[in-house]
Structure 1
Amino acid sequence: MAEPEMTAGDVLAFLTLTDGLGARVWLDGGWAVDACPGSQTRPHADLDIAVRERDAPALVAALHDRRYRPVPRDDTTAWNFVMGDDGGHLIDFHVIVLDADGHGVHGPPENGHRYPAPALAGTGRIGGRTVACVSPEWLVRFHTGYAVDDDWADVSALCARFDIPIPEDYRRFR
């Protein structure tokens, strides 16, 4: 049996929902990697989003009305959690607070985790629709600093398409 996946249609339906709520979201992860050049390169098990903290409760409630429920994980926090439905659709929330400089503070400020303002300036296309997403340069940066595995395809595609130097973490794959 095939693993459930988030299709482009699922992403567009989700974005229509966020539009209706007036919620501001940025695509992150695999769908952002595909949105930046404007074409899907692989199946995606989930949809990663950065969402403003003030928009998260309404979005969670709207997904709850659509039969999404929390998906327990070891790293679940108030600012990083997953919701899923019975069909296997997963939305991975990265909750941020925009500071005065436009940086998205992710979690307690003392942790130092954030989406710098340039990271939130990306745009891409899915199914002909322009979407807000993490910028290519920051998608590459966010894919470094941990054990590298199957991210090479995403990182190499972004680096080639947007003329970004390949990070040291990935040079052994060349």
Structure 2
Amino acid sequence: MTSVLLTDVLAVTGALDEAAVPHWVAGGWGVDALVGRVTRPHRDLDLAVDAEHLDAAVETLAALGYAPETDWLPVRLELAAPQDRWVDLHPVVFDAWGDGVQAGLDGATFHYPAADLVLGVLADHPLPCLSAARQQRFHTGYPPRPQDRHDLALLRDLVAPSG
């Protein structure tokens, strides 16, 4: 399995920053951004994207070679590029207070409180990402895979009270 590399993450997030597309790194790369280092291989880059800017995100990523592969909108849009590079866009609708909601399958919804939109860092690059508590919440409701168990262990260390 080819994996998404740190250089891919920085290219994608940098291009989205340049295009003024609000986005937050989620999933395994989001955990790595919170920890401040790459901790494992990643199949894809999960991004929560302001739904109002979804078209701009797709256009921006097209310039990097990404094209829609799996369209489950309004839930998610997965984009693929050569060398097995994947970006999974999760459109989030934000209210006037900065809180967001993402549609899920079968009528489910995922909430993105403004307080859970934080900043992480990888390779000295600040990256907007989801908080450790929000990442933990998103890792529930399904049987964990080995990479999920890895991420959850890192997240537990981040939210554990220091003593």
Give the TM-score taking structure 1 as reference length: 0.83
SS of the equivalent of 2:137 reads: helix
> Separation in 2 of the partners of 1:97 and 1:161?
27
Deviations 1:53-97 (A, max 9, x none): 121111101222333111136xx2234110011221100000011
Q: For residues 1-174 of structure 1, what are the structure 2 equivalents within 5 Å?
A: 3-72=1-70, 76-107=72-103, 111-120=108-117, 122-150=118-146, 151-163=148-160
Deviations 1:81-130 (A, max 9, x none): 1001122110000001111232111128x74432222222x211111011
> Separation in 1 of the partners of 2:159 and 2:141?
21
Gaps of 5+ in 2: none
Gaps of 5+ in 1: 165-174
Deviations 1:134-155 (A, max 9, x none): 0011111111122223211110
> Separation in 2 of the partners of 1:156 and 1:72?
30
- The structure-2 alpha-carbon separation of the partners of 1:45 and 1:112, relative to structure 1 and needing over 3 Å to count, comes to closer
Give % identity. Answer: 32
Count of residues in Structure 1 that have an aligned counterpart in Structure 2: 158
Deviation of 1:46 after TM superposition, in Å, equals 0.5
> Separation in 1 of the partners of 2:64 and 2:8?
13
Letter in 2 for 1:132: P
SS of the equivalent of 1:36 reads: helix
SS of the equivalent of 2:57 reads: helix
Contact 2:78 2:87 (8 Å CA) reproduced: yes
Contact 2:16 2:57 (8 Å CA) reproduced: yes
Letter in 1 for 2:88: D
Give the TM-score taking structure 2 as reference length: 0.89
CA RMSD of aligned residues (A): 1.8
